[in-house]
Amino acid sequence: MLNLHKILFVSVFALMQSACSTASLAQGSVGLVEKQVFTTQNFTTFNGQQIAEVKIGWEAYGDLNAAKDNVILITHFFSGNSHAAGRYTQDELLPGYWDAIIGPGKAIDTDLYYVISSDTLVNQEPHNPMVTTTGPATVNPVTGVPYALDFPVVTIRDFVNVQKALLASLGIEKLHGVVGASMGSLQALDWATAYPEDVERVISVIGAGAVDPWSIATLQQWANPIIADPNWNDGNYYSGEAPSEGLRQALGMVTLQAMHPQIFNQVYATSSAREPAPLHDIRANFSVVNQLNAAAEARTAFADANHLLYLVRANQLFMAGFAEDLATGLSPVLAKTLFLPSGNDLLLQPYLAQEAFNTLQGLGKETYYEEIEGPWGHLNGVYMLEQKAAVIKEFLGTD
């Protein structure tokens, strides 16, 4: 259930999502959904280490057919979780983030498909009661205390492999499609390289085939405030004071860089370079800074600093196929692919998706590319994706 902290986090985003979802809900919704938990033992990571027990949350919409071949997997973005559609309770203020495109008769049609969405390893919000994840904040069964930095470095491939184990536990061997935004798009594309025979279609929304030096350095700016916070204590803060200030700064930067100036300036239009307090006191903040700080502060309630660092590293390490170059990494792909970047994305800029699209074309693969329009920048992939509903529906429905 969304509580006050979550409502504060989404703030103006909630208004946009609610507005986008109202029409969709009138056309039909997946309704109330149930969060479930998957557990697997002795999970081996991509870098060869082992996690004694892994737990992740998941939810599903629609019905699994007898052949178990109508499954679409939804893979979530950096600060998201598995709540992609519907509501947990009747009084939940907002539906899942892609409720506008998931449901009966919608782009991802739950009259046709069984749609599964899962939390990732090292999810940003391990303290969210509606998230189940395993990561640095999880108690190590060997020591009886949180793993902290003893937790293995994990990759996008590890997220995919946990999802693979979840699906196997349900008797699902093949996916009709994988659809994900941002970090979810990395997972979607890596599914097609790790398990090419098991994936028929991939939709990469606001994504990339590989991170480049610019993206690695940008992501590091999210990690640096946490590392610089004295309370971080090399990750060993679970028995003391958490690095809340560093975490707040990091979350504020995530929000800022995910938005385009066009929408940011509308949201914070009351702030001005002519505010009197900053003119007279170097310690005084502009109102936009205070507002951004307040929104980030609200998000710290469920977040964990080490988890954010691990998510940053998983994204920094990504190249589809985990090969030496993108062409080699993408060469196993058998799935049809559709890239839907945001035209004004300043975080994962469209050239990253274009590079993957061009590489797949050069390899003779079936691939398509269209850009999402809107004022939100990176967040167009969450709030404006309904404009591509017909494209998505057709792509999922064709052989």
Name the residues annotated as catalytic: 182, 345, 378
Integer angstrom CA distances of residue 12 from 4, 102, 221, 248, 263: 14, 22, 24, 18, 10
Q: Rounded to an integer, what distance in angstroms lies between the CA atom of residue 70 and that of residue 5?
A: 36
Q: Is 11 exposed, middle or buried (0-12, 13-18, 19+ CB in 10 A)?
A: middle
Extended beta strands in 70-210, E state: 71-75, 102-103, 108-109, 114-118, 177-181, 201-205
Closest CA to 341 of 187, 156, 209: 209
* Cα–Cα distance, 391 to 290 (Å, whole number): 40
Q: What is the CA radius of gyration of the chain?
A: 20
Angle at CA of residue 119, ends 45 and 66, nearest 5°: 95
Burial class (CB in 10 A: 0-12, 13-18, 19+), 50: exposed
Q: Looking up tokens 């950096």, which residue turns up?
A: 78
Q: Which of 343, 355, 327, 353 lies closest to 379 in space, CA to CA?
A: 343
Task: Look up residue 7 and give its two tokens.
Answer: 């409502």
